[in-house]
Amino acid sequence: MAITINHQTNDISATSGSLTIDGAAAGGGGGGGGGGGAWEVISHQVPSTTVTSVTISSIPSTYKSYKLIMNWTLGSTTSSNPNLTFFDDTTQLTNLAVYRSTSASQTSQTAQSTVPLLREFSMSVFVAEVGIWGLGQDNTSLLVSGQAYSNTTANSVCEVGAFRAGAIGTAVDKIVVKAAWSNIPAGAVITLYGLKGS
């Protein structure tokens, strides 16, 4: 077998057989510190009508990391409040420590039951990417870290973080996305991804 390396495109190919790295197929998320595979879609929801919330339930615990991506456009500038709530079955989690940072201000709050994703709520466009760790695992801390954007006139980019210590008998398996002071419009895209190795 011959291996060809194209230095212009950084491609590696074999004339026969297959390439392996530490025993795993190249590109398959094998060992050697090369990563852990691709993001897999766990839930993808696009409401066909206006809704008050979108629920992502029965979240599997088989992933190391999770990523929630949301975007929507309201028909006009509206006072809204995009936020996340987390549940263990039907019990909403409380006692979250929440941090928000924008170009103009930083806030931190404790004993919260929601994670607000913006600071300024008057907007018509909303986009967010949020990393989440600790879903589906008993007695595991919940960690949330992300960034959200809106077309508000001030503080349009907001960095968000949240933390809740693990508790025996508590495993987060549901996320509810809300826009508390308005609705989530038809055509909104809300997708949760999982990464099995990281």
User: What string of H, E and C letters represents the secondary structure of 99-154?
Assistant: EEECCCCEEEEEEECCEECCCCCEEEEEEEEEEEECCCCCCCCEEEEEEEEECCCC
CB atoms under 10 Å from CB of 51, counted, come to: 17
Q: How far is CA 76 from CA 72, 73, 121, 122, 125, in A?
A: 12, 8, 13, 10, 9
Q: Rounded mean pLDDT of 135-150?
A: 93
Rounded Cα–Cα distance for residues 67 and 175 (Å): 12
Domains parsed from the chain with CATH numbers: 1-37 (no CATH), 38-195 (2.60.120)
Task: Indicate if the pLDDT at residue 28 is higher than 80.
Answer: no
Query: pLDDT tens digit string along 95-108?
Result: 999 999 998 889 99
Distance CA 81, CA 177 (A): 10
Higher pLDDT, 119 or 145: 145
Between 6 and 47, the higher pLDDT residue: 47
36 vs 123, which has greater pLDDT? 123
**Per residue in 179-197, pLDDT tens?**
888 899 999 999 999 998 7
What's the pTM value of the predicted model, to 2 decimals? 0.79
